């Protein structure tokens, strides 16, 4: 691995962790409203695939999408301001935590409804196929969403039309507070594509390099015309389902055992051991990231709120009539 790539990955791992910690603090201070679903522990599942993706690829995410947005290139300022409900946010303050969006970066949003991501990904994949493009769609979903009808309908349609969709399962083993063996008959999510002829692969979702390599191979197959692929990343969230969830259904021992495989510390050890990064470089990056996140919080604090709640919600009727007639 080139030093520049290792540096970029480590930067994003640190940014993901620091940003989410700052978001949690802002939530407890009453600066962020609604639900807030945080990502510590799962960072490798965002950073591996999005470092493997091309700029022309599309990303469809879930309600736990802050880190996906950051790694895709949306600035910490724009993401934090959106969490604060400010007009300078990436969705102009109307979306909040679960509805981040950036058309320029082909980040097609987070979705509050479980399983909603699949249908959007299929639509985009169909458009790419119709235009004979080489772009792909990265469709994120959690293990709980594998129980939704839209998942199986979308697998069928993607396989039938050989759509360029990479289904990425963030398997953190809990559907809110229900352990996977209690909510899914076949807990090996990568096997769910077998009935549709979709190849599936399981990977250590706490190892960013393993996820990166698996995603590169899956995207190569998609671009070569092999059709959709399914990647299951076994990971773990250190926090509860949301800020409203204390996570009492898990033991302290379970959390500690999984935290020992922390993706940030794992990569730091590997990168320093292979000479990709030096200890002083890691320390400098950590300081840089803290400054980036502190700046994002200040920016969000000082930004104005949207002037009108209905702006961008309703289309102008005459505008629609004019388009229909043209």
**325: confidence class by pLDDT, cuts 50, 70, 90:** very low
| Residue pLDDT, tens place only, 128-147 | 999 999 999 999 999 999 99
Residue 324 Cα distances to 186, 205, 319, 320, angstroms: 48, 48, 9, 6
Mean pLDDT of 84-108: 96
**322: confidence class by pLDDT, cuts 50, 70, 90:** low
Distance CA 163, CA 28 (A): 43
**315: confidence class by pLDDT, cuts 50, 70, 90:** low
The answer, yes or no, to whether residue 51 has pLDDT greater than 90, is yes
The answer, yes or no, to whether residue 39 has pLDDT greater than 50, is yes
Give the pLDDT score at 320: 57
| Residue pLDDT, tens place only, 160-195 | 999 999 999 999 998 888 889 889 899 899 999 999
- Structural domains of the chain, ranges and CATH numbers in brackets: 3-325 (3.40.50.970)
Pairing mode, strands 165-171 and 137-142: parallel
The length of the chain, given as a count of residues: 326
Mean pLDDT of 190-204: 97
3-state helix, strand, coil in the chain (%, to 5): 50, 10, 40
Give the pLDDT score at 248: 86
Distance CA 228, CA 97 (A): 29
Give the pLDDT score at 318: 56
Q: Percent of the chain, pLDDT > 90? A: 83
The answer, yes or no, to whether residue 46 has pLDDT greater than 70, is yes
Residue 170 Cα distances to 85, 92, 191, 210, 304, angstroms: 27, 28, 14, 14, 35
Give the pLDDT score at 8: 98
HEC readout, 138-185: EEEEEHHHHHCHHHHHHHHHHHHHCCCEEEEEEECCEECCEEHHHHCC
**316: confidence class by pLDDT, cuts 50, 70, 90:** low
Give the DSSP H/E element, type plus range, for residue 123: helix 116-130
**245: confidence class by pLDDT, cuts 50, 70, 90:** confident
The answer, yes or no, to whether residue 54 has pLDDT greater than 90, is yes
Mean of pLDDT over the chain: 94
Q: Percent of the chain, pLDDT > 70? A: 96
The answer, yes or no, to whether residue 309 has pLDDT greater than 60, is yes
Give the pLDDT score at 239: 87
CA dihedral of residues 124, 191, 156, 197 (deg, nearest 10): 100
């Amino acid at each position: 691995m080139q030093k520049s790539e290792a540096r970029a990955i480590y930067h994003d791992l640190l940014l993901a962790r620091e940003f989410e910690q700052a978001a949690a603090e802002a939530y407890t201070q009453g600066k962020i409203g609604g639900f807030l679903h945080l990502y510590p522990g799962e960072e490798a599942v965002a950073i591996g695939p999005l470092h493997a993706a091309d700029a022309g690829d599309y990303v469809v995410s879930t309600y736990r999408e802050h880190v996906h947005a950051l790694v895709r290139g949306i600035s910490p300022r724009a993401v934090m301001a959106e969490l604060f409900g400010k007009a300078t946010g990436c969705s102009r303050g109307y979306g909040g935590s679960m509805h981040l969006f950036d058309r320029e970066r082909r980040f097609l949003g987070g979705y509050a409804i479980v399983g909603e991501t699949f249908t959007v990904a299929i639509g985009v994949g169909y458009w790419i196929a119709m235009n004979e493009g080489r772009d792909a769609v990265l469709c994120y979903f959690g293990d709980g969403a594998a129980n939704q009808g839209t998942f199986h309908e979308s697998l069928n349609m993607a396989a039938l039309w050989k759509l360029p969709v990479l289904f990425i399962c963030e398997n953190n083993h809990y559907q809110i507070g229900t352990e996977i063996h209690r909510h899914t008959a076949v807990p090996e999510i990568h096997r769910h594509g077998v009935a549709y002829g979709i190849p599936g692969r399981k990977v250590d979702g706490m190892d960013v390099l393993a996820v990166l390599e698996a995603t590169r191979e899956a995207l190569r197959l998609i671009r070569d015309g092999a059709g959709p692929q399914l990647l299951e990343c076994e990971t773990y969230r250190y926090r509860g389902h949301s800020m409203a969830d204390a996570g009492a259904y898990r033991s302290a021992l379970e959390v500690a055992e999984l935290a020992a495989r922390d993706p940030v510390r794992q990569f730091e050890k590997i990168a320093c051991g292979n000479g990709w990064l030096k200890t002083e470089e890691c320390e400098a990056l950590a300081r840089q990231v803290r400054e980036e996140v502190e700046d994002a919080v200040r920016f969000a604090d000082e930004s104005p709120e949207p002037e009108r709640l209905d702006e961008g919600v309703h289309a102008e009727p005459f505008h629609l009539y004019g388009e229909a007639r043209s």
